[in-house]
């Protein structure tokens, strides 16, 4: 079959391929994947079918029906994979920004009934149509940044009806526009007012009344293991129950304190452990030994919460851990969808190199969603989620701080218009 889409004259084609295919990238592999200069990528419908140097291009596969994108010597790379967001919510927390600037901590604001609980009130009060509208707007913004897959957590309902609604909205939003949406159930975000002081009872309720209704609807189950949220022991029991029901596991852990939640979740086979700003070296070694859990770094969160401590990214890489990078887009700890900024801050504050950080927002992020056979690199057989950037050299990606380098976004072999707001 002839090519349906050809991207030619790629100055640098960042393939993210050439390394191991059976596990996430770790150690030196994070930065030694293949870059082709003066190259092409060809697709048949939604799949990549060929790539190589321009001199190797088989012109006989080009027909008048082939769509040709001229990269004009710029960087071409896989679509970004955003592996940790709280996509579906109502309202915002701009009113808490000033409180934060005056020194109130994230957990103090939560303990006073604000923070996550403030977004829960707004989300419970919103209609399904309003929530869908918000989610679609955020997905459009993500797509402009070159994000082609987005994980979407629930977690601002904290009751059966609203939590199921949030998962339904995430799935519906995924069907209504081109960015792929991967739903995660985070009903165990914090303890709702109805269960105040009874976290274990709330988790039992979720496990008995909500998780069974989510089989086939949400792929992962997540929990916020932290002071003021859920303890390590309660989290362990809940995640075990979720695993028995067939869900993949994720955890928010070591965000503000070193409690041991990340190592616990890794021992249960979690696909990712997220935040890890306070992860200690011993627990990092436990996670590395498991060999299957990705550490998702969220550098915009300590930045936004004015925290000095960032996850020890460099040290984690030296210890052999696979790292990914995400924004953690949400109304409280990161109201930003700019994954390029997160990538830059991962370099500046966590010690990643540009190549490692690029792997963190593509192939390793795909591993954190259990989708690395489908997305995250430019390789024959993979889904054609591809970006054409406006920069000629990958070194400029983290350098232009906070800018959006995306010129063209291709999702499933289809170029999608980046319409004005």
Q: Which residues bind Zn ion (CB under 5 A)?
A: 328
| Residue 328 to residue 299: CA distance in whole angstroms | 9
CB of 93 to ligand NIG, least distance (A): 7
User: Does residue 255 have a known ligand-binding role?
Assistant: yes
- Beta-carbon count within 10 A of 161 CB: 9
User: Which of the residues 352 through 411 are near ligand NIG (CB under 6 A)?
Assistant: none
Is there binding between residue 326 and ligand NIG (CB under 6 A)?
A: no
The answer to whether 95 is annotated as binding is no
Q: How far is the CB of 107 from ligand NIG (least distance, A)?
A: 10
- Min. distance of Cβ 338 from Zn ion in angstroms? 16
Shortest approach of ligand NIG to residue 333 CB, angstroms?
4
Q: Supply the minimum distance, in Å, between the C-beta of residue 43 and Zn ion.
A: 33
Of residues 6 and 265, the one with the C-beta less far from Zn ion:
265
Kindly tell me which residue out of 254, 328, 356, 385 binds ligand NIG, with binding defined by CB under 6 A. Answer: 328
Q: x/- site string to ligand NIG, residues 86 to 125, per CB under 6 A?
A: x----------------------------xx--x------
Interaction between residue 331 and ligand NIG (CB under 6 A):
yes
Return the residues of window 253-292 that contact ligand NIG according to CB under 6 A.
255
Using the minimum distance from each CB to Zn ion, give the nearer residue, 210 or 296: 296
Annotation-wise, does 189 bind a ligand?
yes
Compute the least distance from the CB of residue 124 to Zn ion, in Å: 19
- Tell whether residue 85 is a contact of ligand NIG (CB under 6 A): no
Q: Measured from the CB atom, is 8 or 275 closer to Zn ion?
A: 275
Print the binding letters for residues 332-361 with ligand NIG: x by CB under 6 A, - otherwise. xx----------------------------
Going by the annotation, the residues of the binding site for 4-imidazolone-5-propanoate are 93, 156, 189, 255, 333
Name the site residues for ligand NIG (rule: CB under 6 A): 86, 115-116, 119, 224, 252, 255, 301, 328, 330-333
């Amino acid at each position: 079959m002839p090519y349906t889409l050809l991207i030619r004259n790629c100055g640098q084609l960042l393939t993210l391929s050439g390394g191991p295919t059976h596990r996430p990238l770790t150690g030196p592999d994070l930065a030694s994947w293949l870059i082709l200069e003066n190259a092409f990528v060809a697709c048949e419908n939604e799949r990549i079918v060929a790539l190589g140097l321009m001199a190797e291009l088989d012109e006989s596969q080009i027909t008048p029906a082939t769509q040709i994108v001229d990269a004009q010597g710029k960087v071409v790379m896989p679509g970004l994979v955003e592996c940790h967001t709280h996509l579906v919510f109502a309202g915002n927390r701009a009113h808490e920004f000033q409180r934060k600037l005056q020194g109130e901590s994230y957990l103090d604001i939560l303990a006073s009934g604000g923070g996550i609980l403030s977004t829960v009130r707004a989300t419970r009060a919103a209609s399904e149509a309003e929530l869908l509208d918000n989610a679609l707007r955020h997905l459009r913004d993500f797509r402009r940044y070159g994000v082609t897959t987005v994980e979407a957590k629930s977690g601002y309902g904290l009751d059966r009806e609203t939590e199921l609604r949030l998962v339904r909205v995430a799935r519906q939003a995924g069907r209504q526009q081109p960015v792929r949406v991967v739903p995660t159930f985070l009903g165990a975000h914090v303890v709702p007012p109805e269960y105040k002081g009874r976290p274990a009872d709330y988790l039992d309720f979720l496990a008995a009344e909500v998780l069974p209704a989510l089989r086939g609807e949400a792929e992962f189950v997540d929990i916020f293991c932290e002071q003021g949220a859920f303890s390590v022991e309660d989290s362990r029991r809940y995640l075990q129950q979720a695993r028995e029901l067939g869900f993949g596991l994720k955890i928010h852990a070591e965000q503000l304190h070193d409690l041991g939640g990340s190592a616990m979740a890794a021992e249960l086979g979690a696909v990712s452990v997220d935040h890890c700003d306070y992860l200690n070296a011993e627990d990092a070694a436990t996670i590395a030994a498991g060999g299957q859990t990705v550490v998702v770094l969220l550098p915009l969160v300590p930045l936004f919460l004015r925290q000095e401590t960032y996850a020890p990214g460099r040290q984690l890489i030296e210890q052999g851990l696979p790292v990914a990078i995400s924004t953690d887009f949400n109304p409280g700890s990161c109201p930003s969808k700019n994954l390029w900024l997160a990538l830059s801050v991962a370099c500046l504050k966590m010690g990643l190199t540009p190549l490692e950080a690029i792997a963190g927002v593509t192939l390793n992020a795909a591993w954190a969603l259990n989708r690395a056979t489908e997305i995250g690199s430019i390789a024959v057989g993979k889904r054609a989620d591809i970006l054409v950037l406006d920069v000629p050299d990958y070194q400029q990606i983290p350098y232009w701080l906070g800018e959006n380098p995306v010129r063209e976004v291709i999702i499933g072999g289809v170029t999608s218009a980046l319409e004005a707001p």
